[in-house]
């Protein structure tokens, strides 16, 4: 009883200031205003634009409900404390997001929209984004040919569905929340991760192909892949840049479903394993022995707005080395296409050879 009396006394003498968040009991709901009891001698009001902005929230409240509000004006000309429900809700929402991130808490969200990059939802009214790259392996839109329209259609099938996620990252100033999905296979993966390390070489098979890489079902390093049941296999992603030392535009032209491969673990983070096929191959760039000014023979492989890619003819058929001849060497795309044709051989001079960066710039000889 004494504590309650002290609390009431503190409330009665508390001087509210702009930005304070306080609980208030709803006294009355009128057409365009709500009045709140904020303690002895204090009456607050939500009206005007603040009322309109919070209509979706206010439609679920009634007299005597206690709600959290934020002080906009400690006392207006009519003696009321002007309040914002939306600002208070948003402040508490961000606090909740931070707590979920810090505690690594799982929760469900309902997908409302999609774009070519992933799925859209919200957390307490704050927009949240679940990138395609953060979907579980089971939900990845595995479209081998990388057709963006097909990928988008697959993503659209998730609209209206609930997905269990965690907060991967957030930026309150930018109003951004990035989510990651919990995989059904994550339990096995999490148990196994403590026995995996970067640099381990694993054996497995290609289980899925997407426009940005390939999925590999693999056995633990101490296990034999042959004879290991699918339930005991783990799954990792080989990014398109880790498939080979050559430039790859379509992973399905380099690997195929069911193909047996060996891969090196290059990263273990956020419950996912990243793999590399190219790390287990010799880097042909280091064995070319070329230098600036050398004359080489190459085949024009493709044009793009900033130049042309040229595949060098080398002694080894496996060494697929590509260089770039910049559009500035010709002056315009039209002139470039007048001088060269895709699929034809030409002599080129090396302007810059940087094997550590896997970069070579050329000019037409």
Q: Which of 280, 307, 324 is the last residue of a domain?
A: 280
Tokens of 118: 């992933």
One domain for residues 157 and 196: no
One domain for residues 175 and 200: no
Is residue 54 a part of any domain in this protein? yes
pLDDT at residue 286 in the model: 84
Distance CA 156, CA 152 (A): 6
What is the average pLDDT across 258-268?
Answer: 92
One domain for residues 293 and 319: yes
pLDDT at residue 6 in the model: 43
Q: Give the confidence band of 2 by pLDDT, cuts at 50, 70, 90.
A: very low
Is residue 98 a part of any domain in this protein? no
One domain for residues 192 and 273: yes
pLDDT at residue 270 in the model: 67
What is the average pLDDT across 281-291?
Answer: 85
* CATH number of the domain encompassing residue 28: 2.40.50.140
Q: Quick: pLDDT tens for 173-200.
A: 888 899 988 655 555 566 677 788 899 9
Please state, rounded to an integer, the average pLDDT across all residues of the chain.
Answer: 83
Q: For 102-106, 136-140, 259-263, which range has the lowest pLDDT when averaged over its residues? A: 136-140
What is the average pLDDT across 151-158?
Answer: 86
Q: Which of 11, 24, 14, 16 is nearest to 73 (CA)?
A: 16
Cβ atoms of 313 and 297 closer than 8 Å:
yes
One domain for residues 295 and 353: yes
One domain for residues 207 and 273: yes
Give the percent of the chain with pLDDT over 90. Answer: 25
Is residue 95 a part of any domain in this protein? no
Does the pLDDT of residue 13 top 70, yes or no? no
- Domain span including residue 241: 186-280
Q: Which of 59, 88, 117 is the last residue of a domain?
A: 88
One domain for residues 136 and 158: yes
Is residue 326 a part of any domain in this protein? yes
Q: Which of 238, 89, 213, 93 is nearest to 146 (CA)?
A: 213
pLDDT at residue 128 in the model: 92
Tally of structural domains, the chain: 4
What is the average pLDDT across 140-151?
Answer: 68
Q: Where are the alpha helices (DSSP H) in the chain?
A: 2-13, 48-53, 55-58, 85-103, 148-156, 186-193, 333-339
Backbone φ and ψ of 244, nearest 5°: -160, 165
Does the pLDDT of residue 116 top 60, yes or no? yes
Is residue 196 a part of any domain in this protein? yes
Distance CA 93, CA 123 (A): 7
One domain for residues 299 and 269: no
Distance CA 138, CA 146 (A): 17
pLDDT at residue 149 in the model: 77
What is the average pLDDT across 2-21?
Answer: 61
Is residue 28 a part of any domain in this protein? yes
| Burial zone of 270 (CB within 10 Å; 0-12 exposed, 13-18 middle, 19+ buried) | exposed
Q: Which of 214, 230, 221, 225 is nearest to 265 (CA)?
A: 221
Q: Which residue shows structure tokens 């992973």?
A: 251
Is residue 308 a part of any domain in this protein? yes
One domain for residues 209 and 232: yes
One domain for residues 116 and 142: yes
Entry field: residues in the chain? 365
Is residue 66 a part of any domain in this protein? yes
One domain for residues 194 and 171: no
Q: Give the confidence band of 9 by pLDDT, cuts at 50, 70, 90.
A: very low
Does the pLDDT of residue 267 top 60, yes or no? yes
- Greater model confidence, 82 or 134: 82
Q: For 40-49, 134-143, 195-204, 332-341, which range has the lowest pLDDT when averaged over its residues? A: 134-143
Q: Give the confidence band of 319 by pLDDT, cuts at 50, 70, 90.
A: low
Distance CA 124, CA 321 (A): 51
Q: Quick: pLDDT tens for 209-259.
A: 887 888 898 988 877 777 777 767 888 889 998 998 887 878 888 898 889
Q: Which of 247, 280, 313 is the last residue of a domain?
A: 280
Q: For 86-90, 147-151, 274-278, which range has the lowest pLDDT when averaged over its residues? A: 86-90
One domain for residues 127 and 61: no
């Amino acid at each position: 009883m004494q504590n309650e009396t002290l609390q009431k006394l503190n409330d009665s003498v508390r001087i509210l200031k702009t930005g304070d968040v306080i609980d208030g009991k709803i006294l009355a709901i009128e057409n365009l205003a709500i009045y709140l009891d904020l303690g002895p001698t204090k009456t607050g009001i939500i009206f005007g634009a603040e009322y309109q902005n919070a209509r979706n929230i206010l439609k679920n409240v009634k007299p005597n409900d206690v709600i959290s509000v934020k002080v906009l004006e400690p006392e207006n000309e009519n003696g009321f404390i002007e309040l914002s429900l939306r600002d208070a809700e948003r402040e508490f929402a961000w606090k909740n997001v931070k707590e979920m991130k810090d505690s690594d808490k799982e929760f469900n969200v309902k997908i409302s929209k999609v774009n070519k990059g992933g799925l859209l939802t919200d957390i307490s009214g704050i927009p949240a984004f679940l990138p395609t790259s953060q979907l579980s392996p089971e939900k990845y839109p595995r479209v081998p040919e990388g057709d963006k329209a097909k990928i988008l259609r697959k993503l659209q099938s998730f609209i209206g569905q609930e997905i269990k996620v965690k907060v991967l990252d957030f930026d309150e100033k930018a109003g951004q929340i990035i989510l990651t999905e919990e995989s059904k296979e994550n339990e096995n993966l999490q148990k196994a991760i403590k026995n995996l390390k970067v640099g381990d070489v694993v054996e497995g098979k290609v289980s899925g192909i997407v426009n940005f890489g390939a999925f590999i079902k693999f056995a633990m390093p101490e296990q034999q892949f042959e004879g290991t049941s699918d339930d005991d296999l783990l799954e990792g992603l080989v990014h398109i840049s880790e498939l080979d030392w050559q430039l790859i535009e379509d992973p399905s032209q380099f690997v195929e479903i069911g193909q047996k491969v060996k891969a090196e673990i290059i990263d273990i983070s956020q419950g996912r394993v990243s793999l590399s096929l190219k790390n287990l191959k010799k880097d042909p760039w280091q064995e070319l022995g070329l230098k600036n000014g050398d004359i080489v023979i190459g085949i024009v492989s493709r044009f793009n707005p900033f130049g042309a890619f040229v595949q060098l003819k080398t002694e080894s058929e496996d060494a697929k080395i590509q260089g770039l001849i910049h559009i500035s060497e010709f002056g315009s795309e039209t002139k470039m296409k007048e001088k060269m044709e895709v699929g034809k051989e030409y002599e080129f001079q090396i302007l810059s050879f940087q094997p550590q960066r896997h970069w070579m710039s050329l000019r037409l000889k």
